[in-house]
Structure 1
Amino acid sequence: MNPMDGIRFAFGTLTALPVRVTRWDRTAARAGMLWAPLPGLVVGLCAAAAGGAFLLLDSGPLLAAVATAAVPAVLTRGLHLDGLADVADGLGSAKPAEDALRIMKQSDIGPFGVLTLVFVLLAQVAVLAELYAISWTRGALAATIAAVTARLTLTLACRPGVPPARPDGLGAAVAGAVPVRAAVLLAVALTAACATTAGAAWGAGAAVHYALAVAAALTAAQLLLSHCVRRFGGVTGDVFGALAETAATTTLIVSALGTY
Structure 2
Amino acid sequence: MISGLRLALSWLTVLPVRGPSTVDTRTARAAIATAPLVGALLGVIAAGLGQGAHALGTPALLAGFVTVGALALLTRGMHLDGLADTADGLGCYGPPERALAVMRDGGAGPFGVAALVIALGAQAAALGALIAHNRWGAIVLALATSRAAFTWCCRRGVPAARETGLGALVAGTQHPVIPAAWLIILAAIGIVAVPGYPWLGPIAVAAAAAVTAGLSWHTTRRFGGLTGDVLGAAAELATTIVLVVCALS
Please tell me the TM-score bracket, short chain as reference: over 0.9
The residue number in structure 1 matching 2:12 is: 14
Q: Percent identity?
A: 45
Per-residue CA deviation, residues 190-215 of structure 1 (Å, 9 max, x unaligned), is 221232x33xx624xx2221001011
Q: Does 1:43 align with 2:39?
A: no
Per-residue CA deviation, residues 129-149 of structure 1 (Å, 9 max, x unaligned), is 22333x2x22x2222111101
Alpha-carbon distance, 1:225 to partner? 1.1
Aligned residues: 248
Letter in 1 for 2:53: F
- Aligned counterparts of 1:50 and 1:87: Cα–Cα separation in 2: 29
The residue number in structure 1 matching 2:244 is: 253
The residue number in structure 2 matching 1:231 is: 222
Alpha-carbon distance, 1:68 to partner? 1.4
- Determine which of 158, 168, 171 is the counterpart of 2:167: 171
Q: Does 1:117 align with 2:98?
A: no
Aligned ranges for residues 20-35 of structure 1 at < 5 Å? 20-22=18-20, 23-35=22-34
- Aligned counterparts of 1:212 and 1:174: Cα–Cα separation in 2: 28
Letter in 1 for 2:162: R
Contact 1:79 1:241 in 2 (8 A): yes
Contact 1:68 1:143 in 2 (8 A): no
The CA RMSD over aligned residues, in Å, is 1.3
What stretches of structure 2 of length at least 5 have no aligned partner?
none
Per-residue CA deviation, residues 57-109 of structure 1 (Å, 9 max, x unaligned), is 11110111111111221111100000000001111112211011011011111
Contact 2:146 2:237 in 1 (8 A): yes
Higher helix share: 1
The residue number in structure 2 matching 1:81 is: 80
TM-score, normalised by the number of residues in structure 1: 0.91
Contact 1:17 1:75 in 2 (8 A): yes
Letter in 2 for 1:5: S
Q: Does 1:131 align with 2:130?
A: yes
Letter in 2 for 1:188: I
Secondary structure of 1:207's aligned partner: coil
What stretches of structure 1 of length at least 5 have no aligned partner?
none
Contact 1:47 1:67 in 2 (8 A): no
The residue number in structure 2 matching 1:162 is: 158
- Aligned counterparts of 2:211 and 2:219: Cα–Cα separation in 1: 12
Secondary structure of 2:157's aligned partner: coil
Secondary structure of 2:181's aligned partner: helix
Q: Does 1:186 align with 2:182?
A: yes
Letter in 1 for 2:168: A
